[in-house]
């Protein structure tokens, strides 16, 4: 029974990826309020720095890395999809646990999610097209449609429902939806590996180490730069550092499943892209925990008289 399900999984790969993203974004919308976006006006500098870094800085750093390193094209496309993604909803949770500026984190996630409608297909069209097989053309319209249908609309629907329900119900509903989205993510991992279309050992240790260093470096640049150069508060720096490293890989998986099927002629290419996205999603959970834990320890230290 399980073997048969795994064999048929590639047919439902895109559907499961879409369901995972819808659940995650609807859950995020339930606890997101329009007032969160007022932070853009009240605290414009950290917000502006965060948007510019996520929108321009990280994609340019990624392109520079790909120019220096000789990576397989599917791995390069995987990194570029990660770079083009907005922040994920888990960044808000990590920022809260790390005593960072939660309002800044939520506002930055929301704004980058909205901007992704234009920025994501533009970044992929400019930088990823040269790494694609000749028979694959980056469909900007298709990418924009999926961002609208599976990212922005669930987020907006969640926000609308959250306004008319009790806060306690919204929080509880958000928790269950996020848990359901994590279950769908587990199905993606198990289905991709079990069906034989995702070979986790195909690239050795080089790519996993590179993904870890990439995630760590893009976090350190904004975390240390905002704290020591721009003199932002520790709470703002923590929020920016976590937001930079925790990408919405759910959206990346959906786009990858739409563009590169994990069966057929481009199965190996699609498997390589999916490998980067899944591994980055796991690595970022550990990397983003570092500033959160550091912030908690700093706040617990007794102040020096």
pLDDT of residue 66: 94
Q: Are 17 and 188 in contact, with CB atoms under 8 Å apart?
A: yes
Q: Are 150 and 22 in contact, with CB atoms under 8 Å apart?
A: yes
Confidence of residue 5 (pLDDT cuts 50, 70, 90): low
Q: Look up residue 53 and give its two tokens.
A: 């870094």
pLDDT of residue 155: 82
Category of 231 on φ-ψ map: left (φ > 0), alpha (ψ -120 to 50) or beta: left
**Mapped to the 3 state alphabet, what secondary structure does 150-189 carry?**
HHHHHHHHHHHHHHHCCHHHHHHHHHHHHHHHHHHHHHHH
The pLDDT of residue 303 is above 60: no
pLDDT of residue 164: 83
| Percent with pLDDT over 90 in the chain | 23
Q: Are 241 and 291 in contact, with CB atoms under 8 Å apart?
A: yes
DSSP the chain: -HHHHHHHHHHHHHHHHHHHHHHHHHHHHHT--GGGGGHHHHSHHHHHHHHHIIIIIHHHHHHHHHHHS---HHHHHHHHHHHH--B-THHHHHHHHTT--HHHHHHHHHHHHHHHHHHHHHHIIIIIGGGS-TT----HHHHHHHHIIIIIHHHHHHHHHHHHS-HHHHHHHHHHHHHHHHHHHHHHHHHHHHTT---TTTTTTHHHHHHHHHHHHHHHHHHHIIIIIS---HHHHHHHHHHHH-B-HHHHHHHHHHHS-SSSTTHHHHHHHHHHHHHHHHHHHHHTHHHHHHHHHHHHSPPP-
Rg (Cα) of the chain, in Å, rounded? 19
Pick 27 or 191 by higher pLDDT: 27
Confidence of residue 305 (pLDDT cuts 50, 70, 90): very low
Q: What angle do CA 15, 190, 278 make, to 5 degrees?
A: 80
Beta bridge partner(s), residue 87: 247
Domains of the chain from N-terminus onward: 2-296 (1.20.1530.20)
| Percent with pLDDT over 70 in the chain | 82
pLDDT of residue 181: 79
pLDDT of residue 40: 62
182-196: per-residue pLDDT in tens? 787 777 777 666 655
203-246: per-residue pLDDT in tens? 778 898 999 999 999 999 999 999 999 999 998 999 999 999 98
The position carrying tokens 């240790």 is 205
Q: Which of 104, 85, 86 is nearest to 94 (CA)?
A: 104
Average pLDDT over residues 87-109: 79
């Amino acid at each position: 029974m399980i073997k048969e399900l795994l064999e048929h999984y590639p047919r439902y790969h895109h559907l499961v990826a879409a369901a995972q993203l819808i659940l995650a974004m609807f859950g995020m919308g339930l606890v997101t309020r329009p007032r969160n976006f007022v932070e853009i006006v009240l605290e414009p500098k950290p917000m502006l720095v965060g948007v510019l870094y996520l929108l321009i800085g990280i994609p340019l750093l990624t392109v520079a890395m790909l120019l220096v390193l000789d990576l397989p094209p599917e791995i390069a496309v995987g990194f570029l999809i990660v770079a083009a993604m907005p922040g994920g909803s888990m960044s808000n949770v990590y920022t809260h646990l790390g005593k960072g500026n939660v309002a800044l984190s939520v506002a930055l996630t929301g704004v980058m999610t909205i901007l992704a409608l234009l920025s994501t297909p533009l970044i992929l069209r400019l930088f990823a097209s040269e790494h694609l097989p000749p028979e694959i053309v980056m469909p900007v319209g298709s990418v924009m449609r999926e961002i609208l249908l599976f990212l922005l609309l669930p987020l907006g629907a969640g926000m609308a429902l959250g306004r008319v329900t009790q806060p306690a119900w919204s929080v509880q509903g958000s928790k269950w939806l996020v848990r359901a989205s994590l279950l769908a993510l587990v199905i993606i991992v198990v289905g991709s590996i079990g069906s034989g279309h995702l070979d986790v050992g195909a690239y050795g240790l080089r790519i996993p180490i590179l993904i870890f260093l990439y995630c760590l470096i893009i976090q350190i640049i904004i975390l240390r730069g905002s704290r020591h150069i721009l003199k932002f508060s520790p709470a703002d720096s923590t929020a920016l550092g976590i937001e930079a490293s925790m990408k919405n890989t759910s959206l990346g998986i959906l786009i990858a499943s739409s563009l590169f099927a994990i069966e057929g002629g481009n199965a190996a290419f699609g498997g390589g892209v999916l490998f980067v996205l899944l591994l980055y999603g796991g690595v970022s959970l550990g990397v983003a925990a570092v500033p959160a834990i550091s912030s908690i320890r700093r706040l617990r230290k007794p102040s020096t008289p």
